[in-house]
Amino acid sequence: MRSTASALLGRAIRLFRESSGLSQERLADLAGITYQYLSAVENGKENFTVGVLESIARALGITLDLLVEQAYTSSSPVPVVDKRNFVHGAALPPELRVEHIEAALNETQRVIRLINASLVRDSGRPLPAYIQRNSFSGIVSNVLTDAFSRLSPYKHNHDQKFPDLVCKNAQGVTVAGLEVKCTIQTGKGGESHNGHSGWHVVACFSVDDQFGDVRFIHVMLAELVGHGQPDPDWKYVRSTVNPDTGSQRTETYSTTPSGIAKLRHGTVYLDPALEIRRWRTPACVPAPPHSPFQPRRTHR
């Protein structure tokens, strides 16, 4: 294991050792490793196994869980979204507020951190090291959907049909739905396996491949017109076979120029570090006053 996670764990070992009044020579002797090896571990310059971490933790008189927790919490706080990056005036689905979105985004980042901390503790590698990026995006989508269900009026649709989430009134009647999609591909519109009408949220995030954290950088919300309706915001993308791998793409729908424009103009969160000036937003949908994609205007 040699990564950002290694550096954080090495720093945590050094902090525990110094607070215990142990020299590197004494800790190395207690852990059954050489002084030179421990020095390299503390400086993040040496590979090590989970077994080595367990030996060091025992020598320090702590659990491996506590060592990993210390490494992840004191050295690198859990990412949180910046309140200043929310776009005021963006249209939202009924009963959904910016506070709900903020809470769901932060909860998703926290849960992904917990997953990665557990994996690093047991195997030395975070989740992105195990799976392809599109599969990782699917996991983030599921976690965000669950966070919305727990922290907003939009709850899981137990029919397991479109949409992912529904909001019901006091009489139990559905007043709106919300389909959730997460992606690492900024600058694009949306993709769906159904292309139905309704509210859609597309949450774009960056990911630290070594550390495993996700950080949301762009969130779009829009009510889109379904495939087959007049002036649809979705178009059907046929299933194709990759000539190099032989794998077949799942049948999907992607947003039309009008769908892309609606999503971008529905931006509710935007990290100012994200360069959007070069994105060509279709002119088929007028830009509302709050949109960061207004002509000749940049966010903040």
Which range (72-81, 100-109, 176-185) has the least confidence? 72-81
Together in a domain, 66 and 102: no
148 lies in a domain? Answer: yes
Q: Are residues 64 and 103 in the same domain?
A: no
In this predicted structure, what is the pLDDT of residue 3? 55
Determine the pLDDT at residue 160.
67
297 falls in which pLDDT band (50, 70, 90)?
very low
Q: Is residue 277, in this structure, part of any structural domain at all?
A: no
CATH number of the domain bearing residue 239: 3.40.600
d(CA 94, CA 29): 63
In a shared domain, residues 54 and 164: no
User: pLDDT band at 298, cuts 50/70/90?
Assistant: very low
The separation between the first and the last C-alpha atoms of the chain, rounded to the nearest angstrom, is 40
Instruction: List Cα–Cα distances, 203 to 137, 214, 224, in angstroms.
Output: 10, 11, 16
**Domain boundary pick from 74, 98, 117:** 74
Q: What is the pLDDT of residue 29?
A: 95
Mean pLDDT, rounded, for 264-274: 96
CATH of the domain at 44: 1.10.260.40
Q: Are residues 147 and 263 in the same domain?
A: yes
Is a pLDDT exceeding 70 seen at residue 260? yes
Of 41, 57, 74, the residue that ends a domain is: 74
Q: Pairing mode, if any, of strands 214-224 and 267-270?
A: antiparallel
Same domain, 56 and 152: no
Structural domain containing residue 29: 4-74
Q: pLDDT tens digit string along 188-205?
A: 888 888 889 999 999 999
Residue 281 lies in a domain: no
Check if the beta carbon of residue 37 is closer than 8 Å to that of residue 46. Answer: yes
- pLDDT tens digits along 5-55: 788 888 889 988 888 889 999 999 999 999 999 999 998 888 788 899 999
User: Does residue 283 sit within a domain?
Assistant: no
Which ranges of the chain would DSSP assign to H, the alpha helix?
A: 4-19, 24-31, 35-42, 50-60, 64-74, 98-123, 133-151, 257-265
Task: Indicate whether 112 and 8 sit together in one domain.
Answer: no
**Residue 291 covered by a domain:** no
Cβ neighbors of 281 (< 8 A, separation 6 or more) are 260, 261, 264, 265, 287, 293
Of the two residues 268 and 77, the one the predictor is more confident about is: 268
pLDDT at residue number 1: 43
Quote the mean pLDDT of the chain.
Answer: 88
More confident site: 155 or 160: 155
Domain count, the chain: 2
Query: What is the torsion angle, in degrees rounded to the nearest 10, for the CA atoms of residue 221, residue 224, residue 226 and residue 227?
Result: -90
Q: Does a structural domain hold residue 285? A: no
In this prediction the pTM is 0.76
Q: Which amino acid is at 253?
A: Y
- Lowest mean per-residue pLDDT among 24-28, 88-92, 225-229, 251-255: 251-255
Q: Are residues 68 and 49 in the same domain?
A: yes
Q: Average pLDDT in the 69-75 region?
A: 69
- Of 48, 74, 100, which closes a domain? 74
For residue 241, is pLDDT > 90?
no
Q: Are 29 and 158 part of one and the same domain? A: no
Instruction: Please report whether residue 284 resides in a domain.
Output: no
Strand partners, 182: 203
* 14-18, 176-180, 224-228, 236-240: segment of lowest average pLDDT: 236-240
Together in a domain, 115 and 199: yes
Question: Is residue 58 assigned to a domain?
Answer: yes
Q: Please identify which residue in the block is written with the tokens 């570090």.
A: 273
Residue 90 neighbours by CB under 8 Å, 6+ apart: 221, 266, 267, 268, 290
Assess whether 129 and 149 both reside in one domain.
Answer: yes
Residues 118 and 238 in one domain: yes
Same domain, 31 and 117: no
Distance, C-alpha 44 to centroid of its chain: 26
Rounded Cα–Cα distance for residues 165 and 154 (Å) = 5
Over the range 268-287, which residues count as b (16 or more CB within 10 Å of their CB) and which as e? bbbbeebebeeeebbeebeb
